[in-house]
């Protein structure tokens, strides 16, 4: 049975790069996101095969249906799930509404918890599995008016440690990647005109000891390491992949 990985938020950015990275290494990829057209574009780049799982992860009934389809198909052995889907918001505690906080929690935390909880019995039955959560350096050290996002991403870091403890006896590993500033659609500068975008990125370079912002592929390689047998004796880790920005 061919090994497989499930990547959420796989239609662009870090998720798309992660799907392609796993595929390069022989994994069949389940691509989960809302935009089916963009998923199809990513699937064409997955040389080891891919299946589209078009789903709004905040719709729990739809999510449960998709999960059940994957877990009962028995076509591939799903060895890894990557909880990457998320949204970013820049608001202070005072400015952020209850709705904003609830949305941040639902998408960035509750949906990954729901998905992971569903896969735990599956991983136990097959004798192990890998969970990789995508948090943020803001979950390690908040900066600026990002209180809701930072708080939820910090919760993901803590949850990862809990998962590692709970899953250890069943050979279920859980690790977390904490990206810094990466050129993906989650950031406003990603879609600016070229001249404006380059100006913003040039300013950001000064914040990075390594002198550049990240690319999705930088994060994808770290996710692959933690989600594959390359890291077979690693669990409970929250790994910053940030060009050293948290050192300053």
Residues acting as catalytic residues? 149
- As a whole number of angstroms, the distance between CA 121 and CA 27 comes to 21
Q: 69: part of which helix (H) or strand (E)? A: helix 60-73
Give 121's contacts (C-beta < 8 A, 6+ positions apart). none
- As a whole number of angstroms, the distance between CA 14 and CA 82 comes to 11
Give 67's contacts (C-beta < 8 A, 6+ positions apart). 115, 118, 119
- As a whole number of angstroms, the distance between CA 120 and CA 112 comes to 12
């Amino acid at each position: 049975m061919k090994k497989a990985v499930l990547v959420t938020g796989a239609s662009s950015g870090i998720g798309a790069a992660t799907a392609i990275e796993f595929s390069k290494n022989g994994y069949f990829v389940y691509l989960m996101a809302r935009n089916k057209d963009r998923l199809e574009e990513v699937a064409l780049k997955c040389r080891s095969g891919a299946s589209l799982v078009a789903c709004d992860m905040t719709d729990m009934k739809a999510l449960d249906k998709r999960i059940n389809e994957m877990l009962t198909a028995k076509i591939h052995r799903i060895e890894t799930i990557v909880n990457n889907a998320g949204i970013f918001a820049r608001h202070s505690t005072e400015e952020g509404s209850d709705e904003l906080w609830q949305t941040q929690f639902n998408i960035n935390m509750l949906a990954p918890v729901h998905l992971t909880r569903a896969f735990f019995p599956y991983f136990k039955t097959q004798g192990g599995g890998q969970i990789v959560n995508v948090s943020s350096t803001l979950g390690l050290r908040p900066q600026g008016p990002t209180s809701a996002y930072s708080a939820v991403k910090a919760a993901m870091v803590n949850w990862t440690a809990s998962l590692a403890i709970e899953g250890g006896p069943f050979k279920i590993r859980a690790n977390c990647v904490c990206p810094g500033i990466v050129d993906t659609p989650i950031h406003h500068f990603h879609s600016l005109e070229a001249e404006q975008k380059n100006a913003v990125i040039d300013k950001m370079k000064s914040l990075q000891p390594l002198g550049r912002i990240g690319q999705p592929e930088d994060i994808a390689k770290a996710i692959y390491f933690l989600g594959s047998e390359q890291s077979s004796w690693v669990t409970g880790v929250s790994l910053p992949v940030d060009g050293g920005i948290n050192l300053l």
